[in-house]
Structure 1
């Protein structure tokens, strides 16, 4: 019985957390980070002040949660095994395109860009807690492929940047500037496939 109650309370806490994060994101976009108070976030989300402060003791903690959840992927999204660079990069690339297509990802970057002059710590949080961990997972995969002998990569940092950049430059960045920019699932797959071909050809291990 206690287990059932525990599961129920966990579900309720998760639902309230989602309401708070959604309300905070909306208000940060509408009013700016500085003008948005925790009290206002509590009112918008419909949760009590006690619940809000229990989940997030500060706006900084709340923004960190927005970053973490924007960059989060499903548990099954483990790095693909090394051995086939085309299959592995295709899996990673399509996951990345799907991640960038989330509305909350665009919202996150808009908040950071708008508040950068006054709150550079927001950009630091976005970079260190969101972008870099994801980038590092791609870099580690490429190093694993290098160790397996499927590719020859002298600079894994550069290779990871090249691959992710080819995808984000079409799928994501125009959406920040062009309100009606839309990329279909088929087009996103094509962008990923071309990025995979480019990287695979550039770093192919060719033995005499």
Structure 2
């Protein structure tokens, strides 16, 4: 390993430590009360080092969201071989819920909503990460299913919005207003009903 590659590796590790510490502090204290100095302390770096990686508190919060969103994208793309279309959609929905709850996306979304009045730029930026990016990913997946003949030709942006809306109605909105809300025991039955409605409108008879 060259000296330059070693330095890049150390820098990347420090950045990851800062993002993890930031997620912890933002979720514990909210956006306003989370102090950059405390985040640096938890990450075991200097404040100057933190600012070398992130120019502002807003940039740091955005990076925290970005890391979680990247995990969502990676997990969403993984599907077992030989799965039926309904199973693929069910697996994707389950992954959505797992990451929404287990990776604290609900908590980060609460922070964004609480701060959007004081920090509208942050609110708009997070809307692009939370909502538009996820819908664009679903749209791209549905486009591939249309091209493969698994779904009828249709406005996939609209169908992705419908699918996302049904998932949010059952699982996300309750969690945003009640931090004690957990994934219900009948989640799989609800997901299957959502998929049945989706396929009744857009399915092309693929197994």
Q: What is the TM-score of this pair, normalised by structure 2? A: 0.79
| Secondary structure, aligned partner of 2:151 | coil
Higher relative contact order (CA 8 A, sep 6+): 1
* Greater displacement, 112-121 / 43-52: 43-52
How many matched pairs?
Answer: 202
Q: 2:57 aligns with which of 53, 56, 59?
A: 59
Match of 2:19 in 1: 21
The 3 A distance-change label for structure 1 pair 35 and 178 is: closer
Deviation of the 1:46 alpha carbon: 3.1
**Structure 2: runs of 5+ lacking an equivalent:** none
CA RMSD after TM alignment:
3.1
Q: Partners in 2 of 1:20 and 1:54 — Cα distance?
A: 11
Match of 1:199 in 2: 198
The 3 A distance-change label for structure 1 pair 34 and 196 is: same
The 3 A distance-change label for structure 1 pair 79 and 201 is: farther
Q: Partners in 1 of 2:75 and 2:113 — Cα distance?
A: 31
The 3 A distance-change label for structure 1 pair 139 and 30 is: same
Q: What is the TM-score of this pair, normalised by structure 1? A: 0.78
Aligned runs of 1:40-189 on 2, under 5 Å?
40-73=38-71, 75=74, 77-78=76-77, 84-184=84-184, 187-189=186-188
* Greater displacement, 42-51 / 70-79: 70-79
